[in-house]
Amino acid sequence: MKVLFIGAYGKVGQHFADQIKDHPQIKEKALIRNPDQVPFFEERGIETVLLDLAASSIDTIAEAAKEVDAIVFSAGAGGKGLEKTFTVDLDGAVKAMEAAKKAGVNRFVMVSTFRNDREELLKQNSLQPYTIAKYYADEWLRSHTDLDWTIVHPGGLTDDPATGKVKVGKRNEFGSIPRGDVAATLVAVLENNATIGKEFEVIHGDTAIDEAIGSL
């Protein structure tokens, strides 16, 4: 399986690259915006494609997705303002889904926010624009595509060492999770086709990642 990872130089994406570089069955194609990031992936033997998600057309993204089997969307504006939030987290995500369809890529894994239901959507705080963007991107994936999707909702992201153990489910209590464990969760999702059509929250827990994902 060859995976186009959108947002590959984000912190979760970097962990994913380290975990996937020697994987016997999954290979990565890293979508990045900055040419200065290329050496990080070259050192790991990972192919790269340079593309500005916000500025690119569906056709351009589809070209980057040629000859891959799955797309992982983990791009985000990272607090760079309202405009970037909507052009990356919402419009960029929808363009990636439409590009997947155009390129004939059926598998699509979305990294979302921890909880973005209607109740969260209406909370007026600094994260509201981000929550709105993620809510409608997820809704588009579920309701307006025929892609083989999985939506992953990580808790609060930390740089703590990965533990290899998580708790998955819906309506979990809010908790944190090391970024390395999020990356390992994405690998486990890609390895397990039973996750297609599934949506779940994931935080630090006591269950080995493969076992937790296998229980979905």
Coil, helix or strand for 33? coil
Which residue among the candidates 9, 130, 135, 136 is catalytic per the annotation?
130
Q: Is the pLDDT score of 123 beyond 90?
A: no
Render the burial of 99-136: b for 16+ CB within 10 Å, e for the rest.
bbbebebbbbbbbbbbbbeeebeeeeeeeebbbbbbbb
Token pair of 167 as six digits? 């708790």
Q: Determine the Cα–Cα distance for residues 170 and 58; give it in Å rounded to an integer.
A: 32
Mean pLDDT of the chain: 93
What pTM was computed for the model? 0.94
Q: Tell me the percentage of the chain whose pLDDT exceeds 90.
A: 81
Residue 31 pairs with which residues in a beta bridge? Answer: 6, 49
User: Which residues have C-beta within 8 Å of that of residue 155, sequence separation ≥ 6?
Assistant: 114, 172, 174, 175, 176, 177, 201, 202, 203, 204
Q: Is the pLDDT of residue 78 over 70?
A: no
Kindly report the CATH number that applies to the domain delimited by 2-214.
Answer: 3.40.50.720
**Domain extent listing, the chain:** 2-214
Q: Specify the pLDDT at position 170.
A: 87
Whole-angstrom Cα distance, residue 142 to residue 97?
11
Residue type present at position 143: S
Answer yes or no: are the C-beta atoms of 108 and 145 closer than 8 Å: yes
pLDDT tens by residue, 169-187: 987 788 999 999 999 999 9
Residue 136 annotated among the catalytic residues of the structure: no
CA proximity to 68, closest of 38, 14, 41, 29:
29
Helices (H), 10-165: 11-20, 38-42, 58-64, 82-84, 91-103, 118-121, 128-143
The token pair that represents 133 in the structure block: 């963007």
